A and B are shown apart, each in its own frame.
Chain A
Amino acid sequence: MISHAQLGWQCLSPDIESLVLLLNEAGIPAKAQNTLEGPAKVVAIDSGFWGKAAAVAAANRVRWCAVWGEHRPQEISILAALAGRDGHLLLQTLVSDRQGELPSQTPFFPAANRPERYLQDMFGIHFFDHPDQRRWIRHQAWQEGQYPLLKTFPPAGTPLDMTPPDCRYPFIPVEGDGVHEIPVGPVHAGIIEPGHFRFQAMGEDILSLEEHLGYVHKGIEKCAEGRDVWGLARLAGRVSGDSTVAHAWAACQACEAAVGISLPRRALVIRAILAERERIANHLGDIGACCNDVGFTFAQVQCSRLRELWQRQNSAVFGHRLLMDIVVPGGVNRDLNARRIDLLQKAIEQLRHELQDFLPLLYEYPSLQDRLRATGVLSLKKARSLGVLGFLARASGECWDLRRDAPYAPYEDMVITVPHTLEGDASGRLRIRGDEILVSLDLLEEMLKKLPAGDVMAEFPSVQRDCSGIGFVEGWRGEILAYVHLDVGGIVSRYFPRDPSWLNWPALEAMIEGVIVPDFPLCNKSVNGSYSGHDL
């Protein structure tokens, strides 16, 4: 008998065809669309059914992935991505570009809360029954009533010389004797991205935490418009620098699907090698940093040593310590030869050897585990309701992994082990990272051994017609989704990258009850949401 934990909740979810039938049965006509290329089915539904469709999905164990918009004067096309057992279903609808209204999906999927408010700020769409009507991504750089992702809004905007600080965001206070409000950020004490955290605390106990993000909003989506696909890949690689390979891969997948080219197998395997190396580097860094946040500097020193060796190998083999700009439309711009493969294989053996004693030492070290165990517990129920992704989800028992559940080349013929646990605490999140490193080392070894011969690049054709595509990649933080719309001539008219941090950030707020203030840095690092990937 295969347990639910082994297969994950997604085995109980309907497959995509059944989900469409369920929608029809609930009285929601869903018309199949074939305008979007890529591994997802698209159905168009009437805007009045937007909320009801979410209700049907939520009642049937479907995972909510993303929502985004695209301005097509005089309408805005909205797409919402859902995940079933065997892949993704996209719901698509249209609203007017002047005061367009939609029912909210948030009452059924809490994960939709901030993405819908983001749409509100960027497109002016009003989700009339959204439980939280506050602005989200808009601070003071543009005014209420201005919507940057409308085609009528100029990329330069109309900013002031000095954008005022955002002092008036209405945080939700907790009232009572002895309750303190602690504001932290946006500039943080360490070497870290900026964001604001508003704690309501009584003594050391945190009563509630509210995040206020958006400080590194750079207008990536607006900036993408007008680029060619190579410029898009460069930009995608900088949505979140630590996920440069995964984001560039997802964007390239979307472009390649849009124009309908397939890549040589060798190119795909090298992309996967890059992605697994990126996964390992980040997990090594995180394990060290989490331990450092509880004062166990020995682990930080060892992990930063291992990460440094890993990055130096990246530089020696691929020419960039963080592997930026290697995944490009059509393939990769760096090939492997016998010497480089040998270097990579030795690196795998060396790291495996190092971790053999190191990881068990961490898992058993009493004073370290005393801080990590039972800290920042994210229950399975909360993880599921928030739709969290990646290692964060697996550490709470939700084990979605695109490489296994909706595989994209070259993972479709590999057996992917997905480590998971029900612990849900900082210790579990550390252990899952360690396990994922070992799984990735096995995958790398397999891929290097079976690296097919051939080219590493397919020619990217000139784009003859308007086309759009979608790409999905299991980045180190979790599922990444990229939507690209190309005009005739191959110019980007819309790029939407959905970093997994969109769904993981709320988990930090959910796990914080009962945590003491000094344990916050550990909780934050054990989740490690991307600020830049979130803010765009």
Chain B
Amino acid sequence: MFDVLAKIFKTGCLTGKVPPPDQTVIEFGTVCRKEIVRIFGKSLAIRMVDAGSCNGCELEIHALNNGFYDIERFGIHFVASPRHADLLLVTGPVARHMQAALKRTYEATPDPKLVIAMGDCGADGGEFGVSYASCGAVANVIPVDAVIRGCPPSPLQLLQGITELLRRR
């Protein structure tokens, strides 16, 4: 146990500042609900939904919780149920086998809510496009408020995108 404590003290605090993005990393939907953003400004509960991704995006979302990015310092945390969520972070092209599950998750999320489509796949279907098995972009299935492109977007781009969405007035 003392080994563990010693390691914790030795590791120290790793959290880095989040620089403002060099360019717009996040594309906003045509209707940006400013009131919602004002309400969520101090704390945000995110429900993550993988609608068909290759798992690359999930790895980078996991990284958001590590000591370097520490998304929780912004009052942002991931929740287990859509019922507890303010924002849905959706990855992947929407596989047709996940279409109903994604819609139900969206409908289960109480209003007011926001949706971010993450990654090139979430933006436009990526390498998988639209087919017998894929609906393509997340926006083809549920309303999307913002898109963060990348394959996958880095944790920093995710953090910049989410915090930028919340800063918008």
Contact = CB atoms under 8 A, between A and B. Distances in A.
B80 A358 contact: no
Contacts of B66: 301, 304-305, 307-308
Interface in B49-77: 49-63, 65-68
A365 B4 CA distance: 10
Binding site of A, secondary structure by majority: helix, strand, loop or mixed?
Answer: loop
A194 B4 contact: no
Contacts of A315: 154
A163 B56 contact: no
B127 interface: yes
A187 B78 contact: no
Interface in B35-52: 48-52
A301 B67 contact: yes
A156 B49 contact: no
A400 interface: no
B133 interface: yes
A219 B133 contact: yes
Given A139-B97, A187-B105, A361-B3, A222 B53 contact: no
Contact of A194 (B56, B82, B98): B98
B56 A324 contact: yes
A186 B3 contact: no
B67 A217 contact: no
B63 A304 contact: yes
A165 B100 contact: yes
Interface stretch (A22-30, A74-82, A83-91, A237-245): A237-245
Contact of B130 (A156, A191, A192): A156
B9 interface: no
B30 interface: no
A413 interface: no
A156 B129 CA distance: 10
Contacts of A219: 128, 131-134
Given A189-B80, A217-B133, A241 B97 contact: no
A164 B96 CA distance: 9
Given A165-B100, A241-B54, A242-B55, A305 B67 contact: yes
A222 B131 contact: yes
Given A216-B52, A238-B56, A304-B66, A140 B61 contact: no
Contact of B132 (A157, A190, A239, A531): A157
Nearest to B82: A187
B95 interface: yes
Interface in A103-143: 139-142
B54 A240 contact: yes
B152 interface: yes
A156, A162, A194, A305: residue with the most chain B Cβ atoms closer than 10 Å: A194
Contacts of A357: 3, 7
A489 interface: no
A321 B60 contact: yes
Nearest to B89: A191
A532 B3 contact: no
Nearest to A194: B50
Given A189-B80, A242-B59, A531-B55, A162 B99 contact: yes
Given A298-B4, A305-B11, A191 B54 contact: no
Q: Which 8 A-B pairs have the closest CB atoms?
A: A157-B132, A241-B56, A219-B133, A165-B100, A141-B96, A241-B54, A189-B80, A304-B66
Interface of A: 139-142, 148, 153-159, 162-166, 186-187, 189-194, 214-220, 222-223, 234-235, 238-242, 244, 285, 298, 301-302, 304-305, 307-308, 311, 315, 321-322, 324, 357-358, 361, 365, 530-532, 535
Given A194-B50, A215-B95, 18 more contacts: A141-B97, A156-B130, A159-B132, A162-B103, A187-B49, A190-B80, A194-B49, A215-B101, A216-B53, A217-B133, A218-B131, A218-B134, A220-B128, A238-B128, A322-B152, A358-B7, A361-B4, A531-B55
30 contacts: A139-B97, A140-B97, A155-B132, A159-B132, A163-B99, A165-B101, A186-B98, A187-B82, A190-B80, A191-B78, A193-B53, A194-B98, A215-B98, A218-B95, A218-B131, A218-B134, A220-B128, A238-B128, A241-B58, A241-B59, A242-B56, A298-B7, A302-B7, A307-B63, A322-B59, A322-B152, A361-B3, A361-B4, A361-B7, A532-B52
